[in-house]
Amino acid sequence: MTKLTRSLITAAFSATLMLAQGPGGQGPGDHPPDPQRMTERRVNFLTRSLNLTDAQKSQATTIFTNAATAAQSVHTNMQTARQSLRDAVKKNDAAAIDQASQTIGNLTGQLTSIESKANAAFYAILTPDQQTKFDSGIRRGFGPRMGRQGGRFHQGRGNTNQ
């Protein structure tokens, strides 16, 4: 099997998985919640879990709102790149598959950076006791998912202590 053939099979398999997920990694027909609601839910969860003060809650809301705002255009570009990849697969266009895949990789890196910077800013406002609690257990539900899902947060999905 040639290197090109293996690459095309891998790309086709990946595209099939992405098509099954629909936009944004959601199920077909699902729409992601709006960023304001996601930020509110996230901060409420962190407030309950870490007993955040009102000042910390306000700071966390600002941090995660700014991150969500910064990520919006990247998410839009990601949807476009995923559509380009789907189209390239249907046309069996190896060059376009490579280009779309590279674009998706770059955008995933941007999302990871945005989320990681928000995580760092949030972690910096925690007391040492809250940091210990966050490190010891809360990350299982809400923490950086390095190497998965473009750094996005997914409450209650799997172990994130890696």
pLDDT at 147 over 90: no
Q: What's the mean pLDDT in 75-89?
A: 96
Percent of the chain at pLDDT > 70 equals: 64
52 versus 154: the higher-pLDDT residue is 52
Cα first-last separation, the chain: 35
pLDDT digits (tens, 9 = 90+) for 21-65: 444 444 444 555 688 888 999 999 999 999 999 999 999 999 999
- Whether pLDDT at 89 is above 80: yes
Q: 94 or 35, which is more confident?
A: 94
Q: Are 43 and 64 in contact (CB under 8 A)?
A: yes
Q: Is it the case that residue 140 has pLDDT exceeding 90?
A: no
Return the DSSP state at 162. -
- The pLDDT mean for the chain works out to 76
Instruction: Output the CA–CA distances (angstroms, integers) from residue 42 to 36, 82, 93, 153, in the order listed.
Output: 10, 27, 41, 9
Task: State the average pLDDT over residues 8-32.
Answer: 44
Quote the tokens at residue 19.
């098509």
Token look-up 């994130």 returns: 160
Q: Token pair for residue 43?
A: 């901060």
Alpha carbon 124 to chain centroid distance? 21
In Å, how far are 70, 71, 98, 117, 124 from 76, measured between CA atoms?
Answer: 11, 9, 20, 20, 29
Residue 128: pLDDT above 90? yes
